[in-house]
Amino acid sequence: MDHSLKETLIFSQKMAHLSKALWKSVEKDWQLWIKPFNLNLNEHHILWIAFQQDGASVSDIANYGVMHVSTAFNFSKKLAARGLLTFSKKTHDKRNTYVCLTEEGEELLLKTFETFNEQTFSVYEAGLPIRDLYGRFPEFSELTTMIRHIYGNEFVEGFETRLHDFEEGITVEDGELVFEPKTKMPTLF
């Protein structure tokens, strides 16, 4: 199929502008959520991945967190300095550095989840009219297909599996989120 240069430019610009606007909203909401815990987005994401992977390599964190390896490593070092993570090498894999949550890191991460309030997330609020109209939130099938072509099947399938497992590991009791014990907690990233 032949695509015109004009069509390609318009599509690329539309995707860039809409993605940037959406990310700006997500970024703002996420940062406000975790600000009381003296964390930034990368640090929170790293804690989350380390919790769910239970010994993630820095490369895994970079991959699943969609960040550069140096970013994953540098922010992990800051978290380790705060006593929230530890670094290690595995006996069978001396090339990679692995991070594990400390007890303090796990406690802090779970506190962030406990304070989550959907009404402070503008993306959630923006999705409500779609849910009210169709009975569900947007499913992102076209976007997922695009991400699959950019990052590959393994990335998307892993994300979808871990997202499902994460959902299964959370219940709501008396209006509060309750998490399965860490040994049963599924991975998201």
| Domains and their CATH numbers in the chain | 10-137 (1.10.10.10)
Mean per-residue pLDDT, 85-98: 85
Q: Give the closest residue to 56 by CA, choosing from 28, 19, 88.
A: 88
Q: What is the mean pLDDT of residues 62-70?
A: 93
List for the chain the helix, strand, coil content (%; round to 5): 65, 15, 25
- pLDDT value of position 176: 81
Q: Is the pLDDT of residue 58 over 90?
A: yes
| pLDDT above 80 for 5 | yes
Mean pLDDT of 113-121: 87
CA-to-CA dists, residue 69 to 31, 35, 79, 85, 145, angstroms: 22, 24, 15, 17, 25
The whole-number average pLDDT for the span 58-82 is 95
Q: Which residues contact 185 (CB under 8 A, 6 or more apart)?
A: 51, 52, 169, 179
The pLDDT value given to residue 186: 42
Contact assessment for residue 15 and residue 70, using Cβ atoms and an 8 Å cutoff: no
C-alpha to C-alpha distance for 24 and 44, rounded to whole angstroms: 17
Q: Are 57 and 50 in contact (CB under 8 A)?
A: no
Of 97, 67, 94, 95, residue with least CA distance to 80: 97
